[in-house]
Amino acid sequence: MKQDSEAITEPAREGFAQQAFASYAAPLIGQTIELAEAVHDDASPEALHRLRVSLRRLRSLWWAFAPLLDKGENERQRAVYQFLATAAGKTRDWDILIELLDKQRGAARDLLTRLEQARGETLAVSRETLLNADVKRLLREAFASTSAQLNTAHEPRIALHKFVAKRVGASERSLKKRIKRARRAKRSNYAAFHDVRKAGKKLRYLFEFFGPVLQGGHKRTLKRLKRIQQCFGKLNDTVASEALLRENASMLADAGDLDAALHWLGKQRKRRMRAVTALLH
């Protein structure tokens, strides 16, 4: 099964945006359902990561078509994807922390063992949440509801290429605004840097969805977005891991040298912050 953009960049390149929605959404919905079902058999970090990414792509796709939808409809469906991504993400957060500390020279084995135990307990909750949520039904209902609204709306039809250009343009402006804000922000203001990461990720997904429809080349922009995502992703992993370890410090107090791990993560965070600051400038 394809996991990247090639699986969802084949819809009709002409026609109206309202009609094109289904051709973009249906393959991604099917892919996400398969990934959610696979998590029940595959507990690997990669399986959970692929599911979370697929759910994020769904949120971005619904954001792209938001101007054609009732506000309530768009918010409802995006909230569903956020809820499911959070369920998968809680286990993924432990995976990232373990991967980072496993690279730490002299990391306490007892601490890593306890983190693995916490990861296992969180995975059980994640699986139960996804199972109880009935992901297949939720996603199919979201697709059917949004498709029905687009097909029955009385608003004038808009050409797909014009609609795509407007939405990509809006996303580009949002990213530039957040980059400008982050350039002026203090390094302690992590939220400003996190906003750049989210905006860059959304724009990258839109390019992957709508690349064949857009006029002109966008390979250079996509390449730059991947660099931003990679650099800011490493910072986010470090910040989130440090926060997760601090949140569970009392539970892990007797599990090896917790202070050394926190100190190491703090140094990594500062190094990553310098890297993203340099990239912005």
Report the CATH number at residue 84.
1.40.20.10
Whole-number pLDDT of residue 188: 81
Question: What value does the mean pLDDT of the chain take?
Answer: 87
Domain-embedded: residue 2 = no
Three-state DSSP at 117 gives helix
Domain-embedded: residue 146 = yes
Q: pTM for the complete prediction?
A: 0.86
Whole-number pLDDT of residue 139: 93
CA distance 37 to 129: 12
Domain-embedded: residue 118 = yes
Domain-embedded: residue 247 = yes
Domain-embedded: residue 98 = yes
Q: How many domains does the chain have?
A: 1
Whole-number pLDDT of residue 39: 85
Residues of the chain below pLDDT 70: 1-14, 105-107, 217, 256
Produce one character per residue of 199-237: b if its CB has 16 or more CB atoms within 10 Å, e if not: bbbbbbbbbbbbbebeeeeeeebbeebeebbebbbbbbb
Domain-embedded: residue 256 = yes
Domain-embedded: residue 134 = yes
Whole-number pLDDT of residue 209: 92
Give the tokens for residue 180.
Answer: 């400008």
Residue 187's CB is within 10 A of a number of other CB atoms, namely 13
Domain-embedded: residue 10 = no
| Residues spanned by the domain of 194 | 15-280
